[in-house]
A and B are shown apart, each in its own frame.
Chain A
Amino acid sequence: MVGQNQKKTFFRAMLYLLPALVIIAVFVVYPMFHTLRMSVYEDFNIFSKEGSGFGLSSYIWVLQDPNFHKALANTFIYAIVTVPVSIALSLVIAILLNSGIKGSKFFQTAYFLPYVTNAIAIGLAFRFIFHSEFGIFNKFLGLFGIDAIQWLNDPDWAMFTLCIFGIWSALAFKIVIFLAGLQGIDPQLYQAARIDEAGKWKQFIKITVPQLGPILAYQFVIATIGAFKAYVEVVGLFGDDGPLHSATTMVYYMYDKFYNANRYTIAAASGVIMFLIIMVFTFIQMHMSNRRADQ
Chain B
Amino acid sequence: MDNNPNRIQNKYTRALVFILLLLGSLVMLFPFFWMISGSLKTIREITSPEIIWWPEEAQWSNYAEVLTMKTNPFGIYFKNSILVAVANTVFTLFTTILAAFAFSRLEFKGRDKLFSILLATMMVPSQMYIITNFITITRMNLYDSLWAQIIPYTASVFYIYLLRQFFNQIPDQIYLAAKVDGCSDWKYLWKMMVPNAKSSLVTIGLFNFIASWNAYLWPLMVTGNINKRVLSIGLQYFASESGTAYHLMMAGATIVVLPLIIIYLLFQKYIIQGIARGGLKG
**Are the C-beta atoms of A6 and B109 separated by less than 8 Å?**
yes
Complex CA–CA separation, A152 to B9 (angstroms):
45
Kindly state whether residue B264 has any CB partner on chain A within 8 Å.
yes
Q: Please, which residues of chain A bring their CB within 8 A of the CB of B109?
A: 6, 10
Contact of B34 among A104, A114, A128, A274 (CB under 8 A): A128
Contacts of B101 in A (CB 8 A): 16
CB-based contact B136/A116 at 8 Å: no
Known A128-B250, A134-B244, A173-B275: A38·B132 in contact at CB below 8 Å: yes
A107 at the interface (CB under 8 A from B): yes
- Do the beta carbons of B125 and A275 come within 8 Å of each other? yes
Interface set of B (CB-CB < 8 Å, partner A): 2-8, 14, 17-18, 20-22, 24-25, 27-32, 34-35, 38, 46-51, 94-96, 98-99, 101-103, 106-109, 111, 114, 118, 121, 123-125, 127-136, 138-139, 151-155, 157, 160, 179, 185, 210, 213-214, 216-217, 221, 231-232, 235-236, 239-240, 244, 246, 249-250, 252-254, 256-257, 260-261, 263-265, 268, 271-272, 275-276, 279, 281-282
**Among candidates A113, A177, A182, residue contacting B29 with C-beta atoms closer than 8 Å:** A113
Q: Report the minimal beta-carbon distance from A183 to chain B, rounded to whole angstroms.
A: 9
Distance between Cα atoms of A117 and B152 in the complex (Å): 23
Task: Give CA–CA (A155, B174) in the complex, Å.
Answer: 63
| CB contact between A271 and one of B47, B131, B257, B276 (< 8 Å): that residue | B131
Docked Cα-Cα span, A46 to B132, in Å, equals 9
Binding site for B on A (CB under 8 A): 1, 6, 9-10, 12-14, 16-17, 19-24, 26-32, 34-35, 38, 46-47, 93, 95-104, 106-122, 124-129, 131, 133-134, 136, 139-140, 168, 170-174, 176-177, 179-180, 182, 187, 190-191, 194, 200, 218, 222-223, 225-226, 228-229, 231-232, 235-236, 239, 251, 254-255, 258-259, 264, 267-268, 271-272, 274-275, 278-279, 282
Q: Are A35 and B21 in contact (CB under 8 A)?
A: no
Interchain nearest-CB distance for A15 vs B (Å)? 8
| With contact pairs A110-B29, A125-B32 given, residues A101 and B21 touching in the complex (Cβ less than 8 Å) | yes
B132 touches A31 (CB 8 A): yes
Inter-chain contacts of A100 with B (CB < 8 A): 2, 4, 6-8
Whether B128 and A110, one on each chain, are in contact in the complex, defined by CB atoms closer than 8 angstroms, is no
A120-B236 contact in complex given A255-B217, A274-B127, C-beta closer than 8 Å: yes
Using known A-B contacts A93-B24, A119-B214, determine if residue A187 contacts B5 with beta carbons closer than 8 Å.
yes
Question: Given known contacts A124-B253, A223-B282, A226-B281, is B118 in contact with A24 (CB within 8 Å)?
Answer: yes
Complex partner residue of B249 from A93, A103, A128, CB under 8 angstroms: A128
What A residues does B235 contact at CB under 8 A? 120-121, 124
Contact A112 B272 (CB under 8 A): yes
Alpha-carbon separation in the docked complex, A179 to B256 (Å): 29
- Chain B residues contacting A236 (CB-CB under 8 Å) are 236
Contact B99 A20 (CB under 8 A): yes
Q: Which residues of B contact A111 (CB under 8 A)?
A: 24-25, 28
Q: Give the CA-CA distance A93 to B24 in the complex, in Å.
A: 8
A28 — which chain B residues lie within 8 A by C-beta?
121, 124, 129, 157
* In the complex, chain B residues whose CB is within 8 Å of the CB of A121: 35, 232, 235, 252-254, 256-257
Q: Indicate which residue in A6, A24, A271 contacts B128 across the interface (CB closer than 8 Å).
A: A271
